[in-house]
């Protein structure tokens, strides 16, 4: 996922170059809730701009996650767009250092060998594309809060009484009104 763009940097603005992603290097996701389950795939188009290289394309990553409802492990594929700017640090013709852009946080550097490393850009976009609530299936029933039985496998024998303690005072008033009517 490292591509040499020296020839593209020497080309005129508007020139493009297509590359295919192959996951030779493994990405490490920091959040610990998900991990890669296989190679990252995709195609990127590298565009020569007046400031550097703009990479666009779609990336697919197989992810191994835990369901937030039933806690079972499952694999899914996450596809997300990648749209990132890469700026040169060394002029490709003269070899002199190039001043960084006004806000280097918005772009990734092209190294001294005129290579772009897409791994960090892919990692950042992948973390943003991960679902906030990972579900093994759309209709996952979850676990019983009392006994822990997986409701996807069938109902449990627990008495399911939903009591919201915020309404305890109202329940007491209602019980008191019912007792008065019975007298």
Read out DSSP for 86-108? EEESB-TTT--B-PPPS-GGGSE
Residue 144 lies in a domain: no
pLDDT tens digits, residue range 130-147?
988 899 999 999 998 888
Are residue 34 and residue 117 in the same domain, yes or no? yes
Answer yes or no: is 10 within a domain: yes
- 82 and 158 assigned to the same domain: no
* Nearest residue to 91 via CA among 106, 118, 110, 117: 110
> Which tokens belong to 29?
């996701």
Backbone angles phi, psi at 120, to 5 degrees: -70, -40
| pTM for the whole structure | 0.76
Domain shared by 66 and 118, yes or no: yes
For residue range 98-126, what is the model confidence (pLDDT) as tens digits?
888 777 777 899 999 999 999 999 999 99
Domain of 175? 151-182
The number of domains in the chain is 2
Q: What is the rounded CA–CA span in Å between residue 102 and residue 60?
A: 31
Say whether both 36 and 110 belong to one domain: yes
The residue-averaged pLDDT of 67-85 equals 94
**Shared domain check, 125 and 159:** no
CA–CA separation, 172 and 181 (whole Å): 14
In this predicted structure, what is the pLDDT of residue 177? 66
The phi, psi pair for 44, rounded to 5°, reads -120, 145
pLDDT of 157 reads 86
In a domain? residue 142: no
Helix (H, G, I), strand (E, B) or coil at 158: coil
Do 52 and 38 contact (CB within 8 A), yes or no?
no
In a domain, 135, yes or no: no
Q: What is the pLDDT of residues 6-63, one digit of tens each?
A: 999 999 999 999 999 876 656 777 666 688 888 899 999 999 999 899 999 999 999 9
36, part of any domain:
yes
Q: Mean of the pLDDT values across residues 62-77?
A: 93
């Amino acid at each position: 996922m490292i591509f040499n763009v020296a020839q593209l940097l020497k080309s005129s603005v508007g020139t493009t170059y297509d590359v295919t992603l192959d996951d030779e290097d493994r990405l490490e996701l920091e959040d610990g809730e998900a991990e890669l389950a296989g190679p990252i795939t995709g195609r990127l188009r590298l565009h020569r701009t007046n400031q550097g290289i703009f990479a666009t394309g779609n990336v697919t990553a197989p992810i191994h996650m835990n369901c937030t409802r039933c806690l079972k492990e499952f694999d899914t594929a996450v596809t997300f767009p990648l749209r990132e700017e890469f700026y040169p640090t060394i002029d490709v013709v003269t070899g002199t250092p190039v001043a960084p852009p006004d806000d280097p946080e918005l772009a990734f550097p092209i190294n001294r060998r005129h290579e772009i490393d897409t791994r960090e850009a892919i990692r950042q976009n992948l973390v943003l594309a991960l679902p906030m609530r990972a579900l093994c299936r759309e209709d996952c029933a979850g676990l019983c809060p009392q006994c822990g039985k997986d409701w996807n496998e069938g109902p449990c024998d627990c008495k399911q009484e939903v009591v919201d303690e915020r309404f305890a005072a109202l329940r007491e008033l209602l019980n008191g009104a019912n007792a008065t009517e019975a007298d």
